[in-house]
Structure 1
Amino acid sequence: MSLDHAALSRFLSAVHPYDALDQEALKNLMPAFRPQSMAAGQDIYRQGQPLEGLYLIHSGAVEVRDQNDVQISVLGPRNSFGERGLARDGIAVTSARTLEDTMLLVLPKSAFLRLVETEPAAAKFFDHSRTPKPKRPDLATSPVETLMARSPLTCAPGATVQEAAQAMKDRHVSSICITEGEALKGIATIRDISGKVVAGALPYDTPISQIMTANPLALAPSSIGSDVLHMMMERRIGHVPVTQGGKLVGIVTQTDLTRFQAMTSAELVSEIARAGSAADMAKVTARIPQLLVQLVGGGNRHEVVTRLITDIADTATRRLLALAEKKFGPAPVPYLWLACGSQGRQEQTGVSDQDNCLMLDDAVTEEDKGYFADLAKFVCDGLNTCGYVYCPGDMMASNPRWRQPVSIWRTYFQGWVGKPSPEAQMLASVMFDLRPIGGTTSLFQDLQQETLRLASKNSIFVAHMISNSLKHMPPLGLLRGFATIRSGEHKNTLDLKHNGVVPVVDLGRVYALQGQLSAVNTRARLEAAQGTGVLSQTGGRDLLDAYDLIAETRLEHQAAQIKAGSAPNNYLAPSSLSDFERSHLRDAFVVVKSLQSAVGHGKGMLG
């Protein structure tokens, strides 16, 4: 099979980043591509060999294998491969072979490097490192969709001013939008009613359409905060409707702007620290989804967003502990409340249950245990009220198994390490993520270091933990490089938790175990592993970049769901991503799978 000039042009024009090139640049690039037909089962290159250039699949299928000869990806038409090796002195870091008769377009290394150097779209597409983001959200530059209220109060043009006023009173708002169907016709405010109806002595059954501001100024969701501020200041108005295609989708008020500026994790922490009950705290934690939207919209990195959200859970836990002691009296012996799971790792998102336990001083008596049973139930019930739902596996301090003296906890850890059964692996994985939240931290410090030393020296236990870490695999498959869920409620989506971040979390835990690293946060573990040589510099950079991309994609997905009025989850449809986003996400999954393979073969490096 051969490609004429017109066919090659049509093909490249439908593949990113070539579709972003201007016609002259694409015309100049096309002669550099060399068609290469290969039969099924042929090696394209082997790991360690010099690369001819960048490979772009025109037709057929190619499998890519890592240095341990483990398949990490199957690629189809429009997929590229080989760019990672070109960035490393032109030496292949993987192996590739055809699975069926395949037509490749080979872009020589010199042409590839020239393309990346001269075309910003290509540089961005083939650069797998993270783009720095601003450190904090800013009102003036935040998208209007992160500022607006999504369910503005509405009424029909024929509604009376009394009906409109009553509706505003019931909703505790100061404006009402007048609509026909979904189209915005006008807006009326409390000031309109007081100034035009009351002061003008109009009857209360006057149609709202007679006093409304018809065809009011409106903004699109893609506008930014400064657009709202400037409009309000210039026009001396306090309410700006938000429309899209003529349809009313929200409204921004001066109250919304004030709330945005006050909506910080510090403000929520402050309110929770003063709360008098779990119900009061729940009113504050109910604002966490909007905080997530604001933090993500403001360009914060994923580890900052999850840390700030986890801080709120920590504060709620400590406040509940204080309220419990106020209700039941001072604790009879020292204790320590610890979190595990995502709270323990400081990686909570918009979807979180609770995982916790209680360590008690060895001086605790049977009578004292009744006090701690009451305290644990009070705190776990309170967390559930706040939206941190009960752990489905009952891994909570309210379960007597996870509310024990330090000596019993020591026995637990020694048993899990000494006899690594499947349950022991699971429990050890969870408990290696423990982080003190409230109480006497010294109860855990010695135990943590002791357990890390014991576990790292037990080669059988380490092998079992490595095996356990390979149970969650990145979703790489045939269709555009992804293996989506095949059936059920989340059919045709990717699970960005269990097949996205969890594989990296598991790797980080293994590295921490191998290096006796006390860090609990996943990114901190990866950085520490890289710094101590447990993970190679190359492998560390790749894995950090891959983790950042996957974790940020997950947060952006949740933020988009919240903005759309849906409950956030971890299930992303690849079809919602652009070619650019799909390509980079696939590459991130390939990196994770490669590091899993390296760990499985007793290596700590990629490439």
Structure 2
Amino acid sequence: MSATIEITEVISFLQKTPPFQFLDGNALKRIASGLEVQYIKVEQSTAIQTPESRPVLHIIRRGAFEIRSQEGLLVDRLADGECFGISSILENNPEGFTVIALEDSLVYRLDRKTFQTIADDYPSFLSYFTSTRANRLRKLFASQTHPTITPAIHLSSSVDSLMSSGLIATDLNSSVQAVAKKMTAARVSSILVLENEKMIGILTDRDLRSRVLANALPADTPVGDIMTHEPVYLAQHASIMEALLLMSERDIHHLPIISNDAKPVGMITSTDLLRNQQLSPLLLASEISRQTNVPALINTCKRLPALINNLVVTNISPVDIGRVVATISDNLIQQLIKLAMVQYGQAPMDFNFLVFGSLARREQSLGSDQDNALMLESEPNEQEVHYFNRLARFVSDGLHHCGFPYCPGNIMATNPTWMMSRQQWQRQFNYWIEKSTPKALLNASIFFDIRSSYGPEEPARQLVAETLEHCKKNSIFLATLTKNALRSRPPLGFFRNLVLESTGEHKNELDLKHNGIALINDLARIYGLAAGETSTSTIERLQNLSDKKIMSQENIHNLQDAWMFLSELRLQTQHESWQRHGKTSAYLDPTHLSQLERRHLKATFKAIANAQDMAKIRFANGLPS
């Protein structure tokens, strides 16, 4: 059944619906004017496209559907604001998908001609739909052919599907004895401290042991004296993956869940997550922290490739996968340092184990190598140098055997060049900024993505802050860094044809990392240094540039879309390489892509090239080529 529609009302709806919300008013009006409305009854089965029908994109105004393959396998479930018919409008539905209404529903129908016109004018609009289609195909592919270990609860599910809602609470003035009795009666391991219905603290059974019993405090000690103030929390609509990452990164075992009005509504514990995840990042990180020797660590880390592959085929975003691997890497580094200290004794001074590159950005994937260094509290004497050399060798060897290969460029803590005091590191960064030699610029592209994986936070924070301040004042450094970065261009030739590797093992393939993702990383780093941006993640850097007015919103969105699209392609390529050959590769054979996917890839590279041109105008326009 079809009917006429009110254009103003449709535009209002589209303005709140991705990816239509990013289009301008004229484009939205063109779409709304060409829409038809259709009512679909519950359980009505609809072939997305038949030989007699024309390809149409369906936008769900109200209702719920599920997409199934020709074999009856579930591909996806959809609700208000989502779309189906993407396969049809992009490639005439070669998969033969069918859609079934789960309730009485209303949809808008957009014809292919209008869709294609908008897609030609807005590459990011097309990017959204090709990415959505790829995600659905990955789900189908995984269910058909890949025997992965699937979590009991999907990591993208909302935390409210897992949290305990029967909260136990107390006030600031309650005694620890009264609170302990209350926790015992309720059989819980934590209690929230509330004031005017707002959470101001948390007390766990571990706090009672370490802060009360261990210090022999009296039973009438007020809860307010020993609680954790302003505890970490998560919003009710967040995903289980976000809870996993937050608890792993902060090393916490109890995570309060709050509603939109900031009131606590539930609690998730590490036990909840481990019980419901057969292959959990939190479980692996936890097991790493419990191992007492290197062979046991090596054996535990053998599960990491399966975990990453599982995250890829279950449609976890590249950003979250990078955070998972970084969290596990950090846990591994910290445990290796603890084991080194068991063997060699306590360190003679405070130190930071610095990480660079993809681990610093939290963007590691399968097969990522190690880039690291040591920053010492002060300049070491000969005996202290010997100690830290042995510790660095122990950690670097352990990382290598646990699946993080040695750095081919020897940027590792085992290299004496990269073991310095805090003051020496600051002088080194200042030298690179002032000199801007080719070698200094190469080092800047690696070392200026920096994070401390072990050690006190303040020395590393000061190093980053002073370096950023120095960068902001040196326009010549930013100009030469930009010029150096622009020597690598996206692989587009004349008439926007893809330029492939011409020789060697990867002949006729694309290097997605160095010819795509790395170019976006470089741009985000340059703009981030110019703006004094402290975050290291590429997506976070780009997002935070919005507030600093240093890059146009269009370029920010284009680069974010490009990074996500290329990272998804890279992860999928690595996954398929691992399945076939037991090793990873970021080289893509474009012949494996559809015509439309190749078109999207070219549009992505064009967006990167445009952003590079804008960076040259802003930072390096006066420099000779």
TM-score, with structure 2 as normaliser:
0.58
Counterpart AA for 1:413: F
1:410 aligns with 2:409: no
- Distance, in Å, in 2 between the alignment partners of 1:305 and 1:447 is 28
Q: Bigger CA drift: 360-369 or 550-559?
A: 360-369
User: Are 2:321 and 1:294 aligned?
Assistant: no
Separation (CA, whole Å) in 2 of partners of 1:291 and 1:376 = 27
| Distance in structure 2 (CA, Å) of the matches to 1:450 and 1:558 | 38
Quote the Cα distance in structure 2 between the aligned partners of 1:540 and 1:329.
49
What does residue 206 of structure 1 align with?
none
CA distance in 1, matches of 2:554, 2:596: 24
Aligned mates of 2:347, 2:139 — CA distance in 1: 45
Aligned amino acid, residue 394 of structure 1: N
Question: Is the Cα contact below 8 Å between 1:349 and 1:555 reproduced in 2?
Answer: yes
1:397 maps to 2:396:
no
Q: Does the aligned pair in 2 maintain the 1:338–1:358 contact within 8 Å?
A: yes
Partners of 1:474 and 1:275 in 2: CA distance: 44
Counterpart mapping for 1:48-447 below 5 A: 115-116=114-115, 127-129=126-128, 143-147=143-147, 261-362=277-378, 364-447=380-463
Q: CA deviation at 1:583?
A: 1.1
Q: Distance in 2 between matches of 1:404 and 1:112?
A: 63
Following the alignment from structure 2 to structure 1, what is the Cα–Cα distance between the partners of residues 368 and 54?
A: 49
Question: 1:241-297 deviations in whole A, cap 9, x for unaligned?
Answer: xxxxxxxxxxxxxxxxx9994212112111211122222222222222221221111
Deviations 1:546-588 (A, max 9, x none): 1111111111111122222431111100001111211111111
The number of equivalent residue pairs is 394
Report if aligned partners of 1:279, 1:386 keep a CA contact under 8 Å in 2: no
Tell me the alpha carbon deviations over residues 162-219 of structure 1, each in whole angstroms, 9 at most, x when there is no partner. Answer: xxxxxxxxxxxxxxxxxxxxxxxxxxxxxxxxxxxxxxxxxxxxxxxxxxxxxxxxxx
Gaps of 5+ in 1: 1-19, 27-78, 80-110, 150-257
Query: 2:123·2:603 contact (CA, 8 Å) conserved in 1?
Result: no
| Cα deviations by residue, 1:64-116 (Å, 9 ceiling, x for unpaired) | xxxxxxxxxxxxxxx9xxxxxxxxxxxxxxxxxxxxxxxxxxxxxxx999622
Secondary structure (helix, strand or coil) at the match of 2:543 reads: helix
Alpha carbons 2:429, 2:467 under 8 Å: kept: yes
Counterparts of 1:573 and 1:286, CA distance in 2: 28
Corresponding residue number in structure 2 for 1:457: 473
Quick check: 2:374–2:420 contact (8 Å CA) kept in 1?
yes
Residue type of the partner of 1:300? Answer: I
CA separation of 1:121/1:525 partners in 2, compared to 1, >3 Å: closer, same or farther?
Answer: closer
**Residue pair 1:341, 1:355 contacting (<8 A) in 2 also:** yes
CA distance in 2, matches of 1:118, 1:593: 23
* Contact 2:510 2:588 (8 Å CA) reproduced: yes
Report if aligned partners of 2:399, 2:405 keep a CA contact under 8 Å in 1. yes
> Relative CO higher for 1 or 2, CA cutoff 8 Å, sep ≥ 6?
1
Query: Aligned residue for 1:579?
Result: 595
**Distance of 1:147 and 1:112 partners within structure 2:** 38
Structure 2 letter corresponding to 1:145: T
Three-state SS of the structure 2 residue aligned to 1:375 is helix
- How far apart, in 1, do the equivalents of 2:145 and 2:118 lie? 32
Q: Could you list the per-position Cα deviations for residues 466-509 of structure 1 after superposition, in whole angstroms to 9, with x for gaps in the alignment? A: 11221322111248721000011100000011001000010111
CA contact under 8 A between 1:21 and 1:121: conserved in structure 2? Answer: no
Pair 1:484 & 2:483 matched: no
CA separation of 1:599/1:24 partners in 2, compared to 1, >3 Å: closer, same or farther? same
Change in CA separation of 1:141 and 1:491 when aligned onto 2, cut-off 3 Å: closer
Percent identical across equivalent pairs?
32
The TM-score normalised by the length of structure 1 is 0.60
Structure index of larger Rg: 1
Q: Is the 8 A contact 1:380 1:390 kept in 2?
A: yes
* SS of equivalent residue, structure 1 residue 534: coil
**Paired residue type of 1:588:** T
Superposed counterparts of 1:455-534, under 5 Å: 455-478=471-494, 481-534=497-550
Q: Which amino acid aligns with 1:368?
A: E
Aligned to 1:85: none
Distance 1:260 1:289, change over 3 A: farther
Q: What secondary structure, in the 3-state scheme, does the structure 1 residue paired with 2:405 have?
A: coil
Q: CA RMSD in A?
A: 3.5
Which of 576, 580, 588 is matched with 1:560 structurally? 576
CA distance in 2, matches of 1:134, 1:573: 16
Q: How far has the Cα of 1:145 moved from its partner?
A: 3.1
Measure the CA separation in 1 of the matches of 2:305 and 2:392.
Answer: 27
> Quick one: distance in 2 between partners of 1:537 and 1:337?
36
Question: 8 Å contact 1:134–1:298 — kept in the other structure?
Answer: no
1:591 maps to which residue?
607
Corresponding residue SS for 2:615: helix
Shift of 1:592: 0.6
- Give runs of ≥4 in structure 1 deviating > 6 Å: 117-125, 132-135, 138-141
CA distance in 2, matches of 1:427, 1:119: 43
Distance in 1, matches of 2:118 and 2:490, equals 31
